Each structure stands twice: as C-alpha cells, then as structure tokens.
Structure 1
C-alpha cells in the first residue's frame, strides 16, 4: 500500500520503537521565507508579491518577531516528541467544524467483487473481518513489520490508532478516543444493516478469534434480525455539521440506553456496513457511483444512514458487490489503506469448524424522542444537499501507467503532477495553489506536510506547452526536477507549510499580536488550494477519493499502476466554474500530450533527470 519496504523488524514496532527515530526538525527561518516567496511567485500578482516581500524582510529582522517565534518553536521542539503533531491534530481535524463526510474523510473503492446476493455479501464480509483480525493480532503481538524508506525506519505509531478508536463530537471542538490500551480492550466489532447497529463479539471465550464460518453464521443472524427497513437512521446524525452534531450528541446520550449503545459503537474494533444494493449503472459509470458510495453512501434514501461516520475505520460491503472503506482522518493518514492488503490474504474457501454455540449478536437500542427525530431529519436534509452538491468522476487512464515516465527516467508522481498543472492551466489560463500530501513518518509521530506542485518552473512549462516556439522538453525536465527537489525537502521536514503554521500558532500561544505576514492577502491566497491532490499507491487495483478543500476547488487522488492510472476527481456542483469530468478529460489529454512530446523529441536532446525514488515512496494522504 505504501510503496515502502516492509521488513521483519530487528526491534519491535510498538510505539516505544519511535524513540529511536529523529525528532521533526524546525526548518531555518530564512529558508522558509525564501521558499514562501518562490511559492507565491506563480500565483499572486507582482504588486502583491512585492508587498509580501517587504513584510517578510521586516519579519526576519535580527531580534525581531520572526526570530523570537522561531526560538519559541525550537524550544518547543526540544521539549516535545513532535512539535507539530498535537497542533496539527487540533487545527486540521478536531477544530474543523464542517462535516467529516466529503469535507474530511477519504473513501477507498476496492475492486468490484463477483457477487450480487446476500450470501455472497456475507461470505465476503466474514473473510474481510477475519482478515482485519489477523492484522489486529500483528498489532497486539507487536509483530507488524516495520516499514523502511531505504535504510531508514518509519514511525509506526499511526497503526496503533486506527483500531478501537472513534471521534467524539463537541459543540466547539471534537476529541478522539482510543480504547486499545484499556485494561479490558474491546473484543467486538459493530455491524450495521438496514440502519440498525449490532455488537458482534469476534473472539471466543479462550480469546481465539472466530473463524470465517463462525463469523458468517453470526452475520446471518444479524441479517435476519434487521429485515425491517423503517428504522430511524440514527447513524446519519454523524454526518452533520460538527457543532450541530455536538449538540444533538449531548441530547442523544442523556438517555442511558442511547449512551450505552453509542459507547458500544465508539469502543468497537471497527465497523462493517452491510449496504443495500443501489441502482445499477453502466460499467463506465460504475466506478464513479462506487466512489460516492464510499464517500457518503448515496443519501438518506440509500445508505448514508448505514454508517457511523465518526468511527475511524468502516468497511463497506454492498449486496451488489461494491466494496471499499471510509476512514475518519483525525487519528491517521495511510494505515487503513495498508489494512486492505491483508484482506486479500484470507483463503477464499469456507472452512467448517466444530459447532460451538455462539451468543446472539446484540442489537443496539435507541430511544428516539421528538427532539432526536428532528435532529435526524435535519441531518437527512443536509446530507442530501451534500450528495447533490458533490461532483465526482472516477476513471481509469488506460493508455499507460507509471511504466512510461519510468522509461523516460522521470518520477511518475512528478510527471502526473505536471500533467495536472497543465490540465488546470488549459482550463483556467492561470496557475493555482496546489497541495500534495507528503508523509513525515521518518520522524517520531510524523503526520504530513505539503508538497507545493505549483512552482516557478511548472508555471513556465505549462505556459510554454501550447506555444510551438519554445523548448518544451527542457522546461518539463526542469519542472519535474523542481517537484522532486521540493518532495525531498518535504519528507525531510523542510517544507514551508507546517513551519509557517507553527510560527503562527506560536504567536497565538505567546498571546502576542499576530504578525502581519499572517494577515496578508498573500497568505490567504497561498492556502486556498484549488487543487488538493494525493498519490496513494496500492498493490490492489483500488483508488482513494475525497472532496475538494475549498468551494471552488478540486480533490484529485490517483493510484499509478504499472500499465494504467486510477484517478478520482471531485468538485462541487454549487460552483459554476468547476467540473470534475472536464478536469478529468483535460488531465487525460495533458498526459497524452506530454507523452507525445517526449516521444517526438530525440533522446540525445533530452536533459534527462535521474532521480531518487525515495520521495516517491512517502506520498500519501
């Protein structure tokens, strides 16, 4: 899933292992200010850039505010395991008040399964559950292989946060709970079918996990106990605006039965959603329909109530063979994707085991008062608005995969990012701030930083691409090299975005006046990511999808396979200027045009860039 090396650990992969990793550095102030100006150059006008340059000169003066904040950050870095991780969790996730659905939680579409009935659905679900329990045992026994980037081990901390965890809504700020280290850690999962939640104990009395056929029998019981479809979709409450859900949550758990039911969901190891089939579409439209199914469930008429969106990890299995997962982003980035690689290792046959009486799965009860009913209706309406507003296109670019850029000695990721820059420029005749995720897992408790794909060199390339009188290949090569250089900076903790955020939060923590650079128009512009992108490479033929991060933006995720590339492009219908299918088509055209350009240019004239593949391996949402 991560394209990193997996090795049997010479030391265990428990969180204690992270003590051997370096701490996240605080980049030099002058370096960040220089790179910040460079990042602004292609996206703001010269007058605004000049104004920002003067503010930065003032900010960097010896003994000035920048130096004071930098020293404060450096002191914080000495005292803490990771100077950024707590701040990032709060500002990026727990303080964020938009719904987690579409706006935060990514979905993953797995290859379509060969079944279209409830028996097939439950057989697959049973094998999947057993596969995740195998993965859990590796975590519990501390035998999960440590991942390496070259010879450098990566922080495994996030793996200990994805199971038995859940987000808890608040009226102003959320929290995350994890029950893994409880004296009596959870031994159950939650299964939801027809909007009804069940506790399914997945371990026998001797602490061995249930076999695949035992799980299947229990799922049959759940199915037969949840045939009524007129139940209130209590789960849809979790899709609402966080402040609204926080108020509804406080009201919901006033009732003792409701509180116990909610706690059972929150404490469960993970959730399995057995979805009803949704209307059939053409094969061409299937991937897109599956993408929105993973992201939001299709609306209140379909499967959006068949979720608990605050749960960190939810596996979704449709009766029609549509499968995937959605994960709440606060605790972790990539591990849920890695989990899926273990699911395919289960043997496909159902092995019969001696019949042991199994306790009936417990149906979770909810008392629905008129006030809770009103909250559910509001959440339904808001969900349906989100569903209608999301514009999604999931497609397979089948002309070539990462094999072609590799044959040209180019980074596949940089190649795709330059095609994205070209596609956007051709539509809008301008460059825009572009976010690409880079992992900081080389450092203790590392999360992510931003690769800024829009550079001075990418700007020159995209403007030259449709001009017949320019040396396009040299400009492409320079742009690809610039992207590679910034990627390497980012994964080594030297990018600008988290450093600037840290300086701003340090000023707030010091109760000092906010420096002018953070109130400058340029700072608002540089953080308005019209393109929010992520490469999520996987061994399975899957694709991740997520929503745009700004109202007039796009979310673009891609999985480069050897001979094709899976793309998911999202936008909002409420913005007249964006269109997911149009960008997807422009991206396909750009990829083909760049390939043609390279093939038409004699190799002797190409300034080939032989690049390290290290950075490539740590690009993940």
Structure 2
C-alpha cells in the first residue's frame, strides 16, 4: 500500500556492490515539517506565557520604565532614593566595566525590579477589584456611584488586548461560606418540601451539626482553600464524575443540536469537511490563545478559562476505582467510526491544515470503503457505554499490548472522535416526533457507534445533519457550546458550499488514504462487549426524550414584564411540575462559578418559599393582583439565589465539600448524610447561546434547539432550555419510561401551558396564542 510505504523514512539493502540506500523524501519532509510545527507551537506557547505572565502590563512596558528611569537620572535626580547606588556597590567589578556602564546596568536592574513590582501591584489590585460582587445585587439600570467607580477602575487595570488566559492570575479564589449561612439557607430551601415534623427534625440535625462537627470540618476546609486554587473543583471532578461506576452514557454525557430549520448541505461528507475544518481553526486559535476571554455578557468582568485547556486531545480513561482524564499536548488527526470500522484520518499534510474540500474527499473515501469490520470490532464502542469497572478490566486485559493497544491509543490520543451515521435524522416538517428521535440519537445513538470517553464526539448523519455528544468530567457545557456554535457559524457564514453542495476549493488526489485501524478481539472480550452493550441498551431504551420549540413568545415579551427570562422560565417549570405531580420537589438549576479561578458550577435551588406561595395562590384561585405580587417576589428571590450562587455563597458545593471532608476524617454526620441523600427530581439547566455569532434578525432560521441531558433521578425530569433571540424558547425534556409517574410529552404540554398562563397573568390583555409552531422563512442570500 502506498501509505504504508510512505510511512517508512528510509530503506536499505546490502548487495555485492555495497549498501543500496533508498530515502523516502516525502516521509522525511513530513518529519521535518512536523518538527517545525511542534517548535512553532513551543515558541508561541513561550511567547504567550510571557505576555500572560506580565499581564495587565505588556512586555514593551519594561522598555518604557527603563527609559523613564534613565531619563530622570540624566536630569541629576535619583528616583531610586539610593537603591541604584546600592545595586552598583554589589555588582562584580572588572576592568572591562566602566563606572558609567555599572551605573547603566544598575539602573536597568532597578527598572526591572520596579517594573515587576508594578505588575504585581496591578495584578493584586485587579484581583481585589474582581472580588467585588455587590454590583450584581443592584437593580437593573440603577448603578450606584461605588459601582461606577469600580467599573472605571476595572477598565483601567484590565489592560489591553488580553489573551485567552491573561486574567487567570488575577481571578479571585472561591471563598468558603460561613457554616451558619449555609445551614440557614439550606433550611430555608427545604421548608416548602417538608411538613412541620420533618422540618423540625431537620432543624435539630442542622443545629447539632453547626455547634459541633461542622466547625471542625470547616477548619479543615478553610485550610484546603488556602492551599489550593479552588477548594471545590478537584473534589467535584473526582467524586461527582470520575468515581461514578455506572455508565456515563445518558447518566453524565450531554448533547448539542444542529440548526432546526436549515441544513447547509445534504451531502454528509461535505458537511463534515467544512465543520471539521472549522473545529481545527478553533483549535489553532485556542493553542495560540487568540480566543477572547469569556466575560459576563454586557460587562467587562472576565470568567475563568481553565476548562478550555482540555477541550481537544483529551480522553476519560477507565479505572477500577476511579477514572482519570488524560490530556495530550497535540494531535494532528481524528478518529472516525463508520459501519463498525475505525479509521485514523490525518487533517494535516506537509505541515498545513487540509482544506474543507480535501477533508470532504477523505471522509468520502471512508464512506466508500467496502472493507468489513474486524472480528469483534463493530460494537467495540459499547465498552465506553456500559459500566466502568468491566471496561477498566477489559482495557487492561485485552488492550494493553500489541495491535489492540496501538489502535486504542490512536482513538484516545485523537483530537476528537467522529461518527459517520448511516441514518437520516433531524427536524422534518411533517413529523413532530423527528426532533425527539434526533435528540435520542445524539444522546446515546446505537450505544456502540460513539466513543463516550472522548472529550467530545461529532456525529454526522446521512442527510447532512450533525450534532455533538460531550463527556462531562473535564468541563461544563458553556465551553463545549462556544466551540460548537463557533463551528456552526464558521461552517455556514464563512466557509460555505458551492452550487452542488460540496465544499469550496480543489482537491489534492494524492493525499494518503485514511488508515483503517486493526484489532484482534478474543472471544472473551467479545463477550464483555456484548454484556456492556446489553447494559447500555437497557439504559437507552428507558430514556423518554421530548424536544420542542416554543414560539408563542420569547424573552422580548418577558422583559417587557420587567422579569428576568431565566426567572420566568424557572417559575413556569415550578408551576408545570406542581400541576404534573401535585407536589413541589427539590429543584436543581446549574449556575456557573467562573468568576473565580478554576470555578465550575453551583446549584440554584429554584423551589423556594416564595415560589411555592405563588403557585399555591395561583392554583388556589387567588386574585390576579395578589398572584402578580407573589410572582414578582418569587422571581426576585430566584434572581437573588442565582446571584448568591455565582458569587460563591451557594449552598450545595459547600455542603458537598464538608461531606467529603467528613469521609476523609472518618466521622459520620446525620445532617450531611441526609442532605446528600435528598433527590433532585427536577434538574434544570439553561443551554448557553452565543448570539454574537449569528445574525438572528436577518437570518432567524439559523437557530438550534440547544442541547440536553438525561434524567438525574429515576422518578424525575431533566430539563434543558435555550433562549433563542427575542421570540423563541426551546426545551429538551428527559425522564425514564420505567417510571409510571413521569412522561416527557405530558410534562412538555404542562410547560407550554404554564408559560402561557404566566404571561397571561402578567399581561392580562394578551391576545390569543398561536397553537402551531411557525417555521421561519429560509433566506437563500447568505
């Protein structure tokens, strides 16, 4: 085979005439260019480390300080107050160094120390400024004078043109809340869920914990907070994600969806060509740190970017007791699955990234490849979908040497994983259930045609639709969402397609073919694959998913009611759940803590005394004025809880870390044990939308249904929602079919009714709602 021959840099044979040496110039060129690319990355990384290390100053500011100090010295003044002379006294004296040169060197050394001191001072000032969060609790549109001054100072100390990681050293550490505050907020959050007897019992447990064991655990936790960058994140990653021994498919991994109403091309390989090229353009920016640091929308406040580091070239490695996340520095290829075969596809040739048309050509080669899968290869991916311990044991036993190890290494070290699906999926106008089946396919597929351990898997369907499935331990949804939406935007609005639907550009037909991976799967391993597949299939078959877009109104009309769209939706979810189940439940809403270094998430307990009082009043037929007042109180309380969670004053991460600490100390706490056993029957999250990447005014059809995740509790709902532009809300609802008390479609109907009822309450003269979803008109002039 040509590609096998090119993989050998040189060959030689010994003959009577001497040694016959044959060099492969192409292979040597590839080696040379690979080395050049590697060194370029190192140089760029070194340069960025220097720029980030001195931020918010710049390296050129050093020269300015040196010149300023030298200029003042020539005016016969001493800005160092004698320090330059002291430095000069301790310089090594030699005949080749004149007194004037010694003075110059001493001034440069003093200038450098002064410059470093200024940088340290600026970073400490910025860190203190970013620790101020009172601005978040001020009413919208009413900024205090203190906050105005604070904003001005943040702008001054933030520097210019920051790189992706420039703010990392200036972000504050996550504070440890006081025990009494956390216990008080917890008791307040569970009050609407308990009767008087249950609440009195919980109050006694809390008081006993606060007065005894809690103080001891808090002391250790504060010690950890002083020593580590973030007292939560490492334990959260390990104990919530990596130590879970059940399947990560459905239970942990989540998905993102393509455009609802637009398919840029019906050609599977072409869609892959453009979007894969876009993913690697994003990775190039990421490696060069050219991506702008994330900020709170509409503000100058930076968010932590640490999670971006493991976006590419990362895999979750199974272990018997705990998994690990392995990250490699670089990878110039992707792993591709199609019809039971695995391929290695290089996306760089002669040191350059392949064009979209060339990637399309290579993908089409895989699609046209007639070779059958090796024995046991077809459903190999099921190992990543089943329980973790059997996969860990099988990995050590069957994939630790030989051809299996080489092929597994190829998948695990790939930039990311790609699945070429033979099915057609996505939204069809005449089939409302198509969105549900599309979401289920992205969540779990056939249980063996995704590699659930990879940081993310891109799925391409036969009709040109695509989607993403992401592993959760290494990062949260906003990081993956930014990558995903950047790829969608680049695919449609920058790269585009020709009239036939193919990628633009020319093809180098001499490109080496994608390399098919080889496997030697013994019968015992095949048996384990079958067992893992059976576990995964049972889990997948039990998932009830319902996805819908709500187009009666969106955040534009909600804002006219002077209500936060997120609070409005959360109140609708509370109302819908109460109508569906006849009771309230502990509700989880994910909030970020990326205002702090290495921050991840915190829980907003959306079911509050205020929300339950409002719902009881509304369902009890109270007067509209009373219900409106209670609604605004509930919405304001929700916003307050959200702000507390974002600013490090949440409940659940603190209680979680106290519980972990109690386990390390070998002590039991009835209070913490009961807290950790509370079920989250309603788990919710807002899918982040980066609207700056899309022109929804001129192209309203370029909207996605966001993404979703599986149910957290066996008898509960998982709800992900997206706020798209001004007029559309999208919901992804998941529950388990085996639970007779839940139904994703029925809960979806309750959500739609609750949204309409709430708006009717806030705007009594609201006209009749439309009953059918209207498809935006697709414009052709991109």
Specify if TM > 0.5: yes
Structure 1 unpaired stretches of 5+: 1-6, 603-621
Q: Within 5 Å, give how 1:551-590 maps onto structure 2.
A: 551-561=714-724, 562-590=726-754
Q: Give the match's secondary structure for 1:600.
A: coil
CA distance in 1: counterparts of 2:397 and 2:457, whole angstroms: 25
CA distance in 2: counterparts of 1:578 and 1:39, whole angstroms: 24
CA distance in 2: counterparts of 1:295 and 1:436, whole angstroms: 20
Q: Give the match's secondary structure for 1:152.
A: coil
Q: Give the match's secondary structure for 1:42.
A: helix
Find the counterpart in structure 1 of residue 171 from structure 2: 21
Which of 44, 65, 71 is equivalent to 2:219?
A: 71
CA distance in 2: counterparts of 1:249 and 1:116, whole angstroms: 39
Render the CA deviation track for 1:418-448: whole Å, top value 9, x for unaligned.
0000011112111001101001111111110
Cα offset for 1:515?
Answer: 1.9
Q: Give the match's secondary structure for 2:187.
A: helix
Q: Is 1:537–2:688 an aligned residue pair?
A: yes
Find the counterpart in structure 1 of residue 335 from structure 2: 190
CA distance in 2: counterparts of 1:322 and 1:554, whole angstroms: 27
Q: Given that residues 311 and 327 in structure 1 are in contact (C-alpha distance below 8 angstroms), is that contact kept between their aligned partners in structure 2? A: yes
Which of 301, 319, 323 is equivalent to 1:174?
A: 323
Q: Is 1:246–2:392 an aligned residue pair?
A: yes
Q: Is 1:507–2:662 an aligned residue pair?
A: yes
Find the counterpart in structure 2 of residue 430 from structure 1: 583
Deviates more, 1:458-467 or 1:376-385: 376-385
Q: Is 1:140–2:287 an aligned residue pair?
A: yes
Find the counterpart in structure 1 of residue 137 from structure 2: none
Render the CA deviation track for 1:168-220: whole Å, top value 9, x for unaligned.
1112211110002xxxx2111111111211111111222x2111111112112
1:370 to 1:418, Cα distance in 2 relative to 1, 3 A: same
Render the CA deviation track for 1:370-389: whole Å, top value 9, x for unaligned.
01111121122222212221
Q: Is 1:223–2:377 an aligned residue pair?
A: no
Q: Give the match's secondary structure for 2:710.
A: coil
Q: Is 1:273–2:419 an aligned residue pair?
A: yes
Q: Within 5 Å, give how 1:55-204 maps onto structure 2.
A: 55-61=205-211, 64-112=212-260, 114=263, 120-149=267-296, 150-180=299-329, 185-204=330-349
- The Cα RMSD (Å) is 2.1
Cα offset for 1:74?
Answer: 1.1
Cα offset for 1:547?
Answer: 0.6
Q: Give the match's secondary structure for 1:186.
A: coil
More helix by share: 2
Q: Is 1:262–2:405 an aligned residue pair?
A: no
Q: Within 5 Å, give how 1:315-326 maps onto structure 2.
A: 315-326=458-469
CA distance in 1: counterparts of 2:183 and 2:367, whole angstroms: 59
Q: Within 5 Å, give how 1:298-313 maps onto structure 2.
A: 299=446, 304-313=447-456
Render the CA deviation track for 1:498-537: whole Å, top value 9, x for unaligned.
000111112222x2412221233x5522xx1000100013
Cα offset for 1:368?
Answer: 1.5
Q: Is 1:484–2:632 an aligned residue pair?
A: no
Render the CA deviation track for 1:532-565: whole Å, top value 9, x for unaligned.
1000132342321111111111110001122111
Larger radius of gyration: 2
Q: Given that residues 314 and 327 in structure 2 are in contact (C-alpha distance below 8 angstroms), is that contact kept between their aligned partners in structure 1? A: yes
Q: Give the match's secondary structure for 2:720.
A: strand
Structure 2 unpaired stretches of 5+: 1-154, 498-502, 692-702, 767-782
Provide the TM-score with structure 2 as the length reference: 0.71
Q: Is 1:342–2:489 an aligned residue pair?
A: no
CA distance in 2: counterparts of 1:354 and 1:581, whole angstroms: 47
Number of residue pairs aligned between Structure 1 and Structure 2: 578
1:21 to 1:171, Cα distance in 2 relative to 1, 3 A: same
Which of 582, 599, 616 is equivalent to 2:763?
A: 599
Find the counterpart in structure 1 of residue 198 from structure 2: 48
Q: Given that residues 358 and 507 in structure 2 are in contact (C-alpha distance below 8 angstroms), is that contact kept between their aligned partners in structure 1? A: no
CA distance in 1: counterparts of 2:650 and 2:711, whole angstroms: 22
Find the counterpart in structure 2 of residue 618 from structure 1: none
Q: Given that residues 530 and 554 in structure 1 are in contact (C-alpha distance below 8 angstroms), is that contact kept between their aligned partners in structure 2? A: yes
Q: Give the match's secondary structure for 2:667.
A: coil
Q: Given that residues 341 and 372 in structure 2 are in contact (C-alpha distance below 8 angstroms), is that contact kept between their aligned partners in structure 1? A: no
Cα offset for 1:363?
Answer: 0.9
CA distance in 2: counterparts of 1:100 and 1:108, whole angstroms: 16
CA distance in 2: counterparts of 1:492 and 1:601, whole angstroms: 38
Q: Give the match's secondary structure for 1:283.
A: coil
Q: Give the match's secondary structure for 1:335.
A: helix
Q: Given that residues 193 and 273 in structure 1 are in contact (C-alpha distance below 8 angstroms), is that contact kept between their aligned partners in structure 2? A: yes
Cα offset for 1:250?
Answer: 2.1
CA distance in 2: counterparts of 1:44 and 1:244, whole angstroms: 40
Render the CA deviation track for 1:106-157: whole Å, top value 9, x for unaligned.
011111553786xx11001010011011100111111110111222111111
Q: Is 1:519–2:688 an aligned residue pair?
A: no
Q: Give the match's secondary structure for 1:218.
A: helix
Q: Given that residues 12 and 142 in structure 1 are in contact (C-alpha distance below 8 angstroms), is that contact kept between their aligned partners in structure 2? A: no
Q: Is 1:235–2:391 an aligned residue pair?
A: no
- Which structure's relative contact order is higher, taking Cα pairs within 8 Å and 6+ residues apart? 1
Q: Given that residues 397 and 564 in structure 1 are in contact (C-alpha distance below 8 angstroms), is that contact kept between their aligned partners in structure 2? A: yes
Provide the TM-score with structure 1 as the length reference: 0.89
Q: Given that residues 394 and 525 in structure 2 are in contact (C-alpha distance below 8 angstroms), is that contact kept between their aligned partners in structure 1? A: yes
